[in-house]
């Protein structure tokens, strides 16, 4: 009886180890990175436009930072195209990069997108490359941005 109980324990432990190993084999940490493009678009003209002008008015634009972030992202459109968005709108909305958030109204309602947009603009003006800005986004450096100060 003792041997049978011990065998069951060993079998149970072996099953847990094999299950854990199989999950590790199929998991890919790269899958946790939100969608982005590794290089600049061939032409910005081929992309949907970032909202601008009279499109930046109406009930969705209640705070000054909302209009301001769209204007800043438009200035660094190529860079925003090469950046991920940590709100995971790639999964929920099918966005392909941070730039996608500003092609519609999503950037007005999501603080993560807005902060990343301002961060992208600020870092670009400091001479940072898209890869360096991506690293900052991965480290959540954009979270220090106060939208009401923009």
For the record, the structure tokens of 50 come out as 């970032």
Structural contact between residues 111 and 119, judged by C-beta atoms closer than 8 angstroms: no
- Supply the pTM of this predicted model: 0.76
Strand segments, DSSP code E, in 1-150 are none
Tokens of 103: 């092609």
Predicted confidence (pLDDT) per residue in 71-129, tens digit: 999 999 999 999 988 888 777 777 788 998 999 999 999 999 999 999 999 999 999 99
Which residue's entry shows tokens 């990343």? 116
């Amino acid at each position: 009886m003792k041997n049978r109980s011990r065998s069951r324990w060993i079998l149970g432990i072996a099953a847990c180890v094999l299950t854990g190993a199989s999950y590790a084999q199929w998991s890919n940490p790269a899958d946790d990175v939100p969608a982005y493009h590794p290089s600049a678009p061939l032409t910005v003209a081929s992309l949907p436009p970032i909202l601008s002008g009279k499109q930046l008015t109406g009930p969705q634009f209640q705070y000054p930072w909302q209009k301001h972030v769209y204007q800043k992202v438009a200035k660094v459109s190529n860079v925003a195209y090469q950046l991920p968005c940590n709100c995971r709108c790639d999964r929920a909305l099918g966005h392909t990069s941070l730039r996608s958030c500003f092609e519609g109204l999503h950037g007005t309602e999501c603080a993560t997108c807005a902060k990343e947009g301002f961060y992208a603009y600020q870092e670009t003006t400091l001479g940072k490359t898209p890869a360096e800005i991506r690293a900052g986004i991965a480290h959540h450096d954009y979270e220090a941005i106060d939208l009401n100060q923009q």
